Amino acid sequence: MIPQETAQTIIDPKAYADGKRVDDAFAWLRREMPFAQAQPEGFDPFWVVTKHADILEVERQNELFHNGDRATTLTPIEVDKKVRELMGGSPHLVRSLVQMDNPDHFAYRRLTQSWFMPQNLKKLEARIREIAKGFIDRMADMNGNCDFARDVAFLYPLHVIMEVLGVPEADEPRMLKLTQELFGSADPDLNRSGAEVKDADAALAEIGATVGEFITYFNEMTEDRRACPRDDLASVIANGQIEGKPLGHLEAMSYYIIAATAGHDTTSNTTAGGLWALAENPDQFAKLKADASLIPSYLEESIRWVTPVKHFMRTATADAEVHGQKIARGDWLMLSYPSGNRDEDVFDDPFAFKVDRSPNKHVAFGYGAHVCLGQHLGRMEMRILWEELLPRLQSVELAGEPKRMQASFVCGPKSVPIRYRMN
């Protein structure tokens, strides 16, 4: 059993905001207890999977380790109980691809998969480049000072996915606010109440209100797209069918929500964190500036470095063994992606940011059947931004202390103040 102090650290939103505290805890676990059980106060026990190889082993066995049998993110006992009461026994407030197992997962994923394949994304490239140039021009007009997270990184991927989805530009601020409320529910700067959330009732009420607002919005969009379909993702979801029947209401709303949140937030986090790393490592910025062919490896290193999705949970469907440990049917496992992405057995000097790191077999997008559907779009957006920004950005440095959000599920920078010169 993992020592209580360490167990509390790896679930503490403030430890993820700090960065070093959680990195140190996972480094200790990889070294001393790479596959062990934790039982922080208020939670059911769960296995903590910290090693890269073990994360891959669990992820590749989709029938043995399910997403949907229990909560897919780490959830306190009291919150889980209340969600099940609310949802007729289900542990999920939403039912997106993340909460599904086969055969549903395969069928629902196939519905939009073609939209996110590299060959189909090519038709979006010119428009995405136009959007990127607009944000870079805006940055150039800001007199060499901006908050790169708030002024560029949050807004650029948001604009791209909202165009793909079919959400009007006027509604983008609302979508950003709701996304930050959902993923930043433990952060007083971002959550719905603007205060520390103290108990299960308050936490669930806030998240429920945010999900409800999303559902109200996308209900109207569904009606519109059924009456007047367009060439957008919303029309695919609104008119999609699984085995000859329309999508269930919860599943359709959840599809919109995952596209409207995960579709930009993880890319935003990586973009902001990638620039933060360059500002702190001028030698790496100089290396990247001197050789634009390093942009793809820089992007992969940014994704590894930030690892915006911190964990997903899996549930064993049968007795099994991982890393020499016997796991019982029904056991809960936490896949710790940031730990896997700092694994000393896989990454040379894992706590150094290297724009030319190769190979870079990070697990930030997951692996296997549940690998991130939007990974190619995210990479494309970041590549285009850097292809346009790098030739114009002459220098960059931090102009204050960057801050990360308080969150143990999806977490990244919420503020990256910089000083810079552009041409």
**Domains of the chain as residue ranges with CATH:** 4-422 (1.10.630.10)
What is the model's pLDDT at position 200? 81
Given a cut of 90, whether residue 59 has pLDDT beyond it is yes
Given a cut of 90, whether residue 198 has pLDDT beyond it is no
What is the model's pLDDT at position 201? 86
- What three-state secondary structure class fits 93? coil
Contact 66, 103 (CB under 8 A): no
Strand 241-242, strand 245-246: pairing: antiparallel
What is the model's pLDDT at position 22? 98
Query: What Rg, from alpha-carbon coordinates, does the chain have?
Result: 21
Closest of 364, 372, 380, 164 to residue 273, by C-alpha = 364
Which residues, other chains included, contact 407 with Cβ-Cβ below 8 Å and sequence gap of 6+? 13, 16, 17, 183, 184, 185, 186, 187, 310
Give me the mean pLDDT over the 36-49 stretch: 97
Which residues, other chains included, contact 166 with Cβ-Cβ below 8 Å and sequence gap of 6+? 221, 225, 230, 232, 233, 234, 235
- Separation between Cα atoms, residue 52 and residue 344, nearest integer Å: 9
pTM: 0.96
CA geometry: angle 290, 151, 207, nearest 5 deg: 125
Give me the mean pLDDT over the 194-202 stretch: 85
What pLDDT, in 10s, does the model give residues 125-180?
Answer: 999 999 999 999 999 999 999 999 999 999 999 999 999 999 999 999 999 999 99
- Separation between Cα atoms, residue 275 and residue 420, nearest integer Å: 11
Mean per-residue pLDDT of the chain: 96
| Cis peptide bond upstream of 103, omega within 30 | yes
Q: What is the 3-state secondary structure of 48-82? A: EECCHHHHHHHHCCCCCEECCCCCCCCCCHHHHHH
HSE, side-chain direction, 13 A CA sphere, residue 316 = 18
Given a cut of 90, whether residue 374 has pLDDT beyond it is yes
- Separation between Cα atoms, residue 88 and residue 45, nearest integer Å: 24
Q: Which residues lie across from 315 on neighbouring strands?
A: 66, 332
- What three-state secondary structure class fits 344? coil
199 confidence band (pLDDT: 50, 70, 90): confident
What pLDDT, in 10s, does the model give residues 379-418?
Answer: 999 999 999 999 999 999 999 999 999 999 999 999 999 9
Contact 83, 71 (CB under 8 A): yes
Strand 65-66, strand 311-316: pairing: antiparallel
Structure tokens at 386: 């850097």
What is the model's pLDDT at position 226? 96
Closest of 299, 364, 374, 371 to residue 336, by C-alpha = 364
Closest of 151, 154, 148, 155 to residue 397, by C-alpha = 148
Structure tokens at 397: 């440095």
